[in-house]
Amino acid sequence: ADASNVHLYDSFDESNSEGSFSSRRQGAQLLLRRGRRTTQHLQQRAQHLVQDLKRREEMLQKRGKKIGQLVQREVRQTWLLQQERLVTRSREMTRRLLTGRSRAWRHKWIFALVQADFVASAFWLGRSPETYYMYFTAQICSVLTLKAVDYRVTEQHYFLLDYCFFANLCVLAWLWLCPTSGAAFNAAEGVCGLLSISVVVFRNSCVPHDFVRISNAYVHYPAVVTMLSVKMKCTGDHCMGIEAGRAMLRHLRLRDAWLAYISWAVIYASIIFLLARKRIARKQRDTLYGYFAEKLGFKEKLPKWLRPYSQVIFMLCHQTMFLAGVWWIFLPLWGQCFCTVLALTVFFHNGGRFYVDHFWKAHERNTAQYVDAARLAMCQGDPPLDTAGLNGNGGSATKPSGEVAPAIQELGG
């Protein structure tokens, strides 16, 4: 019995252990299968989430680009509208300024201001020549400011790089920044020769009602007159600067004047012929070189093999003018005064010729209109109409009498 019990127990225990092991093994395999399926499912789900996130990121980027483009378009359109408004307003202002009434009003005020300036300059120069440079400073600063505004409105601002503006700045620099420097005095006095020559060469004219003509003269002769007034009667630091400059050897004085000129030439050539060359050509801006080469036709007058080097020739010719006038610094004071008087004589003569030619042409035109109207009236037997406003009182002219008719026929040729 004991043996059977043991046998039964042992046999039951072995069968029970084998069944539990197999069931555990099956359960483990089932769990592994489920785990693999779960892992694959999670991986697929993670991939789907990653792809979804990428799609959303791409969509957000596209939306951001679209929003950026829309904002950029709106900003650009707003900017273009503002630019168009500014251009429209500037054109409207220019149109108003170019009307006959506006021009007449402007010419009257400019004429009055220029005449007042002539009187004030003459009085100050005679009363206190040692302080005349103060008046010159206020005068040239006003002129340069007005020229800058005028050139900006007319889109000719590259003319502000011309030598005459640089020369006035050299004079102002010596008068106010370094009055005791001999080198600065030589540079300031070295510009006077070319400024005096420019009055004659560029035909500066005394036309007080025309801002363009009178301002072109103002950037040339007042600086020369100022340097003469300071040398005639100097005070303080200016006397020290004049003595230091004149005490140098001649070649050193020429060096100082020429170095100042070369500094301007390098700046001018770098901007006009290199840095702003494409912009000037694209926007068709006027420059001093363009005025001489294109408008006056000097480039076409050169030989064909020299035309590609017209810019170099222009700078060399300008430097030749400077070298022709740099000897001004070695002239005695009376010689400088004499040359200044000659330049001013040409200045006033050109102004007188302008007015005489203008009014003589107007007189000839009015006379021809009157004669034509009178001859037409004689042919028709009616009084000539005052179409040109020739009789001065706004009425119509009367029929010429028998004594006047032969005279009119004689005038008519």
Q: Which has the minimum average pLDDT: 11-15, 87-91, 144-148, 338-342?
A: 11-15
In angstroms, the Cα distances linking 145 to 121, 152, 293 are 19, 11, 28
What's the 3-state SS for the chain? CHHHHHHHHHHHHHHHHHHHHHHHHHHHHHHHHHHHHHHHHHHHHHHHHHHHHHHHHHHHHHHHHHHHHHHHHHHHHHHHHHHHHHHHHHHHHHHHHCCHHHHHHHHHHHHHHHHHHHHHHHHHHHHCHHHHHHHHHHHHHHHHHHHHHHHHHCCCHHHHHCHHHHHHHHHHHHHHHCCCCHHHHHHHHHHHHHHHHHHHHCCCCCCCCCHHHHHHHHCCHHHHHHHHHHHHCCCCHHHHHHHHHHCCCHHHHHHHHHHHHHHHHHHHHHHHHHHCHHHHHHHCCCCHHHHHHHHCCHHHHCCCCCHHHHHHHHHHHHHHHHHHHHHHHHCCHHHHHHHHHHHHHHHHHHHHHHHHHHHHHHHHHHHHHHHHHHHHHHHHCCCCCCCCCCCCCCCCCCCCCCCHHHHHHHHCC
Q: pTM above the 0.85 mark?
A: no
Per residue in 371-393, pLDDT tens?
888 888 888 755 544 444 444 44
Q: Give 179-205 pLDDT, tens digit per residue.
A: 999 999 999 999 999 999 999 999 999
Which pLDDT tens digit goes with each residue over 264-321?
999 999 999 999 999 999 998 999 999 999 888 899 999 999 999 999 999 999 999 9
Residue 11 predicted with pLDDT over 60: no
* C-alpha–C-alpha distance, residues 293 and 271, integer Å: 17
49: which residues sit within 8 A by CB, 6+ positions away? Answer: none
How many CB atoms lie under 10 A from the CB of residue 352?
12
Tokens standing for residue 234: 């100097």
Q: What is the model's pLDDT at position 96? A: 66
